[in-house]
Amino acid sequence: MKKLLKIVAILAVAGLLIGGGVGLYMFFMPHRDVQKSPTDYTLTSSELVAEYLNDFDQANQKYLSEDGNSKIIEVTGTVASITEDYNGQKVVLLKEPGQVAGVSCTFMHETNPNATALNIGQTVTIKGVIRSGVFYDPDLEMHLNAVIEKSDVVL
């Protein structure tokens, strides 16, 4: 009987420790490190644009994840512009001449210098996590670029 109590007590304490540990881990779980995570898809900016324009819903099913940790892609394209957002992060637009849309790549403070080093017209490969795809918005009267964030140049 005493032995049984002892086992139950040990199990309870272990359960509490594991449960608490998991809880703490979940609470303090860091964001996924996009640059250190494996790449899901490698393609050109034109290919991504074409895929979205061909079937927006199907492309979303392929690239977006329900928990927001969507696919990590490496996109190759021509640098059309380099700007900066309100967070001081560089934004590199990969867009081929004559195309309706491109891929907007938001860098991070620590990867900003790699964006600044790029030249307009240069062909480059950029890795990041996809946030949204390409579509024509009839109210905006324009095509929206795909958006990737947490970007860096792939050397």
The number of CA neighbours under 13 Å toward the Cβ of 115 is: 29
CB-nearer residue toward other proteins: 124 or 130: 130
Q: How far apart are CB 31 and other proteins at their closest, in Å?
A: 5
Q: How far apart are CB 7 and other proteins at their closest, in Å?
A: 31
Q: How far apart are CB 6 and other proteins at their closest, in Å?
A: 34
Q: How far apart are CB 69 and other proteins at their closest, in Å?
A: 8
CB-nearer residue toward other proteins: 12 or 70: 70
Bridge pairing between strands 135-137 and 41-44: unpaired
Strand, coil or helix: what is 36? coil
Buried b / exposed e over 74-107, threshold 16 CB at 10 Å, is bbbbbbbebeeeeeebbbbbbbeeebebbbbbbb
CB-nearer residue toward other proteins: 67 or 110: 67
* Interacting residues toward other proteins by CB under 8 A: 26-32, 60-61, 64-70, 83-87, 89, 91, 104, 106, 130-133, 137, 139-142, 144, 147, 149
Distance CA 55, CA 38 (A): 26
CB-nearer residue toward other proteins: 4 or 140: 140
**Sign (positive or negative) of CA dihedral 130, 135, 140, 145:** positive
